[in-house]
Structure 1
Amino acid sequence: MRALVCLTLMAAPAAAADFRLLVGHGGPVMDAAVSHDGRHALTASFDNSVGYWTLGGEEVTWLEGHEAAVKTAIFLPGGRAASGGDDFAIEVWDLQAGQRRERLEGHKGQVASLAVSPDGALLASASWDGSVGLWPLDGQGAPQFMTGHEASVTDVAFSPDGTLVYSTSADGTIRAWDVATASEKRLLLSHGFGVNTILVGDGWFAYGAVDGGTRVIDSTTDTLLADLTLERRPILSMALRPDGGEIAVGDGEGYVMTVSTEDWRINGDFRAAAKGPVWALAYTGDGEGLLGGGIDDTAYVWPAHNTLDAPIMATVERGFLKDPDKMSNGERQFRRKCSICHSLTEDGARRAGPTLAGVFGRKAGTVPGYLYSETLTGLDIEWNDETIDLLFDLGPDHYIPGSKMPMQVIQNPDDRDDLIAYLKNNT
């Protein structure tokens, strides 16, 4: 499916032509990648889709097939891409056709990160099931799952020679795995707090952690090369400039820091987002720009070394972040439980869930154009006061096992009544 979306130029005090918006997602942007030639980008979103963009052009292809939020996306050799998400699956895409090529299954938790080996033969995956997956990309042979972490695996990266896979975990450790034997090589370090992200360069690796720890380690001697820790937490994203000369670091408070890999000096530090996290971060092909995303439905491109006069991301308040004291209880329940996935009107916006317009009296699984799970399309449920109450009383995972809807329970009957009344008045 193809759609045309303009990469609108932002008004900015300096280098305005270098600021661009990638508009079209219907949920927060969780990850981004730029192709080796710099002509295309991928964005992974909470709206269950991947955007395949022509940078500097007008066309975007929506890659749809995931049954839950997409958390990671990368380019693969041969005109392909891969993505992983909350549905525990990895999708491999044919970019020219804009269609799914194959679905890789085996993880038992969300797929948080992907990496491709230098020779393009293997795909590594980090999963919240505590394992690191190795997948042959030629379709020959079964995947292998390496275990040893004591909590969810948050990121993976190959060594430059492709013999090792590095992994980070919520257990606070970084481990190296031998690709040839699919076994643990060694424990590299124990940080003490969960480690979210890692970059691997020539003779070094850099990592970012939940407590804000941002450090660079010599991968041969294990000595500390640089401590880049600032008073911001958590560290959520890292990117390596294509020429290897600089890294960018995004955090939970909306800041992006750029650092030279020659001497580990900070080149720049600016607030990219007015509110919320920088989940997605990637350099443009020429290394002059950064592609970022976060709590907005939009991804942004800006000059890597431009001093921003003001944040460009998350400058408009999202409904689910509104002051609760300024909302009725029914609206508060909707904003917190439903608004990130559902719209109240038929606005045509992309969302992780179908529009709620006209939901009362509608049979489940019948909104035209929405990609439902087989569970929903086979149900004989009509949405009304009673069924919506049961949905949030029991939780979707119990009321409709197999539904794509995330687990949401509203325990207080009065809160459920207020939500139902709000939906009646607004759909």
Structure 2
Amino acid sequence: MPARPRLAALVVLATSLAVAARADAPMRGHGGPVRALAVTADGQRALSGSFDASAILWSVEDGAALRVLRAHDGAVNAVALLPDGGLLTGGEDGRVALWRGAPEPERIIASHAGPVSGLAVAPDGRRIASSSWDGTARITPLDGGPALVREGHRGNVNGVAFLPDGRLVTAGYDASVRIWPEAGTPVTVQLDAPVNAVATAPDGEIAAAGADGSLHLLRPDGRIRASLTVGSRPVVALALSPDGRRIAAATVGGAVAVIDRAAPAVRLTLVGPGLPVWSLAFRGNDELVTGGGDRLVRRWDLRGGEPIGPLAMTRPADALAAFAGDRGAAVFRACEACHTLTPDGGNRAGPTLHGVFGRRIAAVPDYPYSPAFRRLDITWTAETIARLFEIGPARFTPGTKMPEQTVTSAEDREALVRFLERATR
């Protein structure tokens, strides 16, 4: 049964937290794509957020997972680090959580009506900003004062950043970048394509990532200084080096462009295993940390553009290779990112489907189902699974966070059910 980041999930670590990884190996532990990254100023720690609904705090030098943070009902799409050591996570569930030393969040700082897409910390360290697919951005004081809501984008707000002078910058699916004064009307810069991410430099210049593969550099007053084409695929994440001289731009095609901001021109292209790169952060001025569809956190030496550690080791084995030519397996391809089929596969963003036939809904141990799922009285059979995909989750399991996805062909539904009967025994 297909799922996406809005489903609650419990990460299954691929390696034991008690065993330190090799220093030259990628950081592994997430059960889904790595959607967000931040690195501490001293470069010793990294915080990652994932499709698997968890965040992990890493020791970068030895690759060891120090803490696993689980509180969100869906993917962790954004992370940030506070100057005092606090950790921030923003989720598909619309919440922003503040973490200190306890295993649970110290508090929920903000609640949006849609998924949180970005987080930023103000230069004074006393406020945070969150962007959301509910069409708003919020500036929330950490002392508990009321949030300031910024509205005006038409559709999803995909990214947020603070300028050095404390003004807020937002990026939207409506192809605009908005620069918000403390009060009054924002400066709106209209671009040619939806803007997926935004970042700011120490001198106040704004970098905006386009869904058409472009990168725009804006002056603090909103005037466009330069535009360049990074590639043919959407740019989905940006990071600036601490000295502000370089910009890293990640694409869904799997490449990362490292750009000389002054020129501006692409000076390096980092090529990974071919899977999307969803997140990145600088570790000092000469190292980059990236996260992507291979579920790993990787390190790159920017002096030569080479990965630190092996590269061609991480494309996941094809779990459906044994079912080549099976129509039902082909239909199931849409589900495999979130669901496993075998006894040792474990949970991902969705629960394992091993043994699903004859199982009552919401019955997989240690999986944090939504309250709506737990209230349902359904047993999974060939008939109920087929019905789920015939009419869609919203009607068959009302109140759940499963995507509204249907299999319209009766033949495809029958093939899918037959495949699941064989593969999940």
Which bracket does the TM-score occupy, shorter chain normalised?
0.7 to 0.9
User: What amino acid is aligned across from residue 239 of structure 1 in structure 2?
Assistant: A
User: What amino acid is aligned across from residue 417 of structure 2 in structure 1?
Assistant: I
Aligned counterpart, 2:57: 52
- Structure 1 unaligned runs (5+)? 10-16
Aligned counterpart, 2:299: 301
Aligned counterpart, 2:4: none
User: What amino acid is aligned across from residue 333 of structure 2 in structure 1?
Assistant: R
1:89 equivalent to 2:95? Answer yes
1:397 equivalent to 2:397? Answer no
Offset, 1:46: 0.9
Aligned counterpart, 2:173: 170
Aligned to 2:268, what secondary structure does the other structure show? strand
- 2: CA distance, partners of 1:306 / 1:401: 53
Aligned counterpart, 2:105: 100
CA contact (8 A) 2:187 2:222 kept: no
User: Aligned pair in 2 of structure 1 residues 250, 5: CA closer, same or farther (>3 Å)?
Assistant: farther
The count of residues paired between Structure 1 and Structure 2 equals 408
1:98-120 alpha-carbon deviations (Å, 9 max, x no partner): 32222345422221111111112
CA contact (8 A) 1:282 1:290 kept: yes
User: What amino acid is aligned across from residue 399 of structure 1 in structure 2?
Assistant: F
Aligned to 1:392, what secondary structure does the other structure show? helix
Offset, 1:222: 1.6
User: Aligned pair in 2 of structure 1 residues 392, 129: CA closer, same or farther (>3 Å)?
Assistant: same
Offset, 1:8: 4.3
User: Aligned pair in 2 of structure 1 residues 120, 316: CA closer, same or farther (>3 Å)?
Assistant: same
Aligned counterpart, 1:254: 254
- 1: CA distance, partners of 2:239 / 2:231: 20
CA contact (8 A) 1:171 1:194 kept: yes
Aligned counterpart, 1:73: 79
Aligned counterpart, 1:279: 278
Offset, 1:265: 4.5
- 1: CA distance, partners of 2:217 / 2:70: 37
The 5 Å alignment of 1:114-129 reads 114-129=119-134
Offset, 1:329: 1.3
1:283-312 alpha-carbon deviations (Å, 9 max, x no partner): 11x333211111112221121233339993
- 1: CA distance, partners of 2:259 / 2:144: 39
CA contact (8 A) 1:5 1:24 kept: no
Aligned to 1:90, what secondary structure does the other structure show? strand
User: Aligned pair in 2 of structure 1 residues 351, 158: CA closer, same or farther (>3 Å)?
Assistant: same
CA contact (8 A) 1:166 1:176 kept: yes
- 2: CA distance, partners of 1:394 / 1:72: 33
Offset, 1:398: 2.3
CA contact (8 A) 1:31 1:279 kept: yes
User: Aligned pair in 2 of structure 1 residues 315, 417: CA closer, same or farther (>3 Å)?
Assistant: same
- 2: CA distance, partners of 1:350 / 1:22: 19
CA contact (8 A) 1:209 1:234 kept: yes
User: What amino acid is aligned across from residue 411 of structure 1 in structure 2?
Assistant: T
CA contact (8 A) 1:148 1:184 kept: no
Offset, 1:6: 5.3
Aligned counterpart, 1:153: 157
Across the aligned residues of Structure 1 and Structure 2, the Cα RMSD in angstroms comes to 2.7
CA contact (8 A) 2:390 2:406 kept: yes
* TM-score where L is the length of structure 1: 0.87
The 5 Å alignment of 1:138-287 reads 138-141=143-146, 143-162=147-166, 164-178=167-181, 180-181=182-183, 183-187=184-188, 189-201=189-201, 202-220=203-221, 222-224=223-225, 226-271=226-271, 273-284=272-283, 286-287=284-285
- 1: CA distance, partners of 2:348 / 2:378: 22
1:45-71 alpha-carbon deviations (Å, 9 max, x no partner): 111111111212323322112111221
- 1: CA distance, partners of 2:28 / 2:348: 13
CA contact (8 A) 1:29 1:294 kept: yes
User: What amino acid is aligned across from residue 339 of structure 1 in structure 2?
Assistant: E
Offset, 1:344: 0.7
- 1: CA distance, partners of 2:104 / 2:375: 25
The 5 Å alignment of 1:260-409 reads 260-271=260-271, 273-284=272-283, 286-308=284-306, 312=311, 316=315, 319=318, 326-336=324-334, 338-347=335-344, 349-409=346-406
Offset, 1:192: 1.5
- 2: CA distance, partners of 1:230 / 1:261: 13
- 2: CA distance, partners of 1:230 / 1:311: 25
User: What amino acid is aligned across from residue 91 of structure 2 in structure 1?
Assistant: G
- 2: CA distance, partners of 1:44 / 1:61: 12
- 2: CA distance, partners of 1:297 / 1:212: 23
Query: Which moved further from structure 2: 258-267 or 47-56?
Result: 258-267
- 2: CA distance, partners of 1:195 / 1:274: 25
Offset, 1:261: 3.7
- 2: CA distance, partners of 1:167 / 1:101: 27
CA contact (8 A) 1:268 1:305 kept: no
CA contact (8 A) 2:351 2:364 kept: yes
CA contact (8 A) 1:275 1:314 kept: no
- 2: CA distance, partners of 1:221 / 1:85: 30
Query: Which moved further from structure 2: 83-92 or 152-161?
Result: 83-92
Instruction: Give the 4+ runs in structure 1 shifted more than 3 A.
Output: 5-9, 260-267, 307-311, 317-320
- Structure 2 unaligned runs (5+)? 1-10
